[in-house]
Amino acid sequence: MMKGFIYNFTFIFQILVCILASYYLILSLFGLYKKKDNGAEKCAPKSTFALLVAAHNEEMVIAQIIESLKDIDYPKNMYDIFVIADNCNDNTASISKKYGVNVYERKVPDKKGKGYALEWMFDKIFKMDRKYDAIAIFDADNLVSKNFLTEMNYKLCKGYKVVQGYIDSKNPNDSWITGSYSISFWSTNRLFQLSRSNLGLSTQIGGTGFCMKTDILKKLGWGATCLTEDLEFTCKLVLNGEKVGWAHNAIVYDEKPLTLKQSWTQRKRWMQGFTDVASRFFFKLIKKSIVNRSFTAFDCAIYTVQPFVTLLLGVSVILTALQNNTKGLNIFVINSIFQSIPIIWEAFSIFQFLFTPLIMLLEDKLSKKMFFVFALYSLNVIVLSYVFKSGTNPPTFSDVIIGNAVYLLVFLVGVSLLCGKNCLKIFIWYLLYGIYTLTWIPITIQGILDKNNKEWNHTKHIRQISIQEIE
């Protein structure tokens, strides 16, 4: 009786998780294609921009972002730079003033955070004598490509009122954590941002490297002051029938945290914000998707519950591990469907492993040689399956662990000897990316539990990198 209940419950649960995973997989496939669009180069500069840099104690990096903004290839009389020195107790303001940009010092200690700082600055811009067609937002640790405003101007001329640029990494090689971050952002840009753009859906504001038409900001108001103000404003836009456009060629380089501890704190803040926004906007978006038959609203609603989807996937992995390594629990697992034709499951496993390297290859972040290395390693699914089948008894859990460990060790030695240390580092870092991915589960749990904690945790930056070092 109990075994039957467990099987039926886990069957429904795993099928639900499979449907959600399939949704994201199908969505991501539309990002494999990237059409060539050189329209920005032919589009005359029409829009004027206010470029806002939100900065809290950023004396280490503020000079570099200002220099990159001043170096943008766009008529200098058509954009102005504003630095918001938000509750700073260092030299951020004084350094900024040396570059001749507009510096506004904000001292409101009881309202900390980027969202509050932006709302404060928007009000001041609205009251200025000079009027701007659009406002672009950046973080102090960013570096901006020279064509950024050209691309944004093009998208605005095409009718978009809010446009998100491509968030890249300026320090992908600093540590395995920065490498993991970079892989995650490259994948997101291609598989979810570009894919949504290709499908005519709304992309998601990424917190930095985006611009908004001034009139839409005045109309809707900002009001996004939670820990993920970008997601909050995206939801507000979609609820009001607007879509966020995507500018794949407008690149902003973002500094990624160096350590797991820094990464954990930042991602926990993201999950806190996600949970907060989901609790306030999910059902509103679902209602709009039903009433207005809006798939854009439905997709946005699904995106807001990303923390909960992460947890479901984590629970699914645990259930699968329990069933495969214990007896008598009678837990349903998806791969049991393919037991009669294991080649399908093996092919899917290879596809799953190589999908991210394929995206890195398409984004020019991975060489063809390294992709070939990953492809060779992915054959461990077939090799080990053959080895285990040749034995007299079914493999135990320890057999699987030892078999994979031996295969990995032999492969690491081979990569080191044949391809060199740099290839070996890339390969190991990609394997560690799997660990980075798994850490989302406890981080998400913490974020959900602490969703009511609105305290802003600042990420300290210690690297000075110029745009010339990257491009």
- pTM for the whole structure: 0.91
User: Cα separation of 417 and 378, whole Å?
Assistant: 19
Burial class (CB in 10 A: 0-12, 13-18, 19+), 52: buried
Joined tokens for residue 377 = 């390693």
Asked whether residue 118 carries a pLDDT value surpassing 80, the answer given is: yes
Instruction: Identify the top-confidence range among 298-312, 334-348, 354-368.
Output: 354-368
Structural domains of the chain sorted by starting position, each given as residue range(s) with its CATH number in brackets: 31-304 (3.90.550.10)
Which pLDDT tens digit goes with each residue over 255-264?
Answer: 999 999 999 9
Per residue, the 3-state secondary structure of 56-78, as one string, reads CCCCCCHHHHHHHHHCCCCCHHH
What is the pLDDT at residue 10? 83
Which pLDDT tens digit goes with each residue over 378-412?
Answer: 988 888 877 777 766 777 767 778 888 888 999 99
H or E, element range at 11: helix 2-29
How many beta carbons lie within 10 A of that of residue 352, not counting itself? 12
**pLDDT, mean of residues 270-292:** 93
Mean pLDDT of the chain: 89
Residue predicted with more confidence, 452 or 32: 32
Residue 178 half-sphere exposure, CB side, CA atoms within 13 Å? 16
Percent of the chain with pLDDT over 70: 93
Which pLDDT tens digit goes with each residue over 75-85?
Answer: 999 999 999 99
pLDDT band of residue 6 (cuts 50, 70, 90) is confident
pLDDT band of residue 339 (cuts 50, 70, 90) is low
What is the pLDDT at residue 5? 77
Residue predicted with more confidence, 279 or 452: 279
What is the pLDDT at residue 325? 66
Asked whether residue 455 carries a pLDDT value surpassing 70, the answer given is: no
Residue predicted with more confidence, 39 or 169: 169
Residues constituting the chain: 471
What is the pLDDT at residue 26? 94
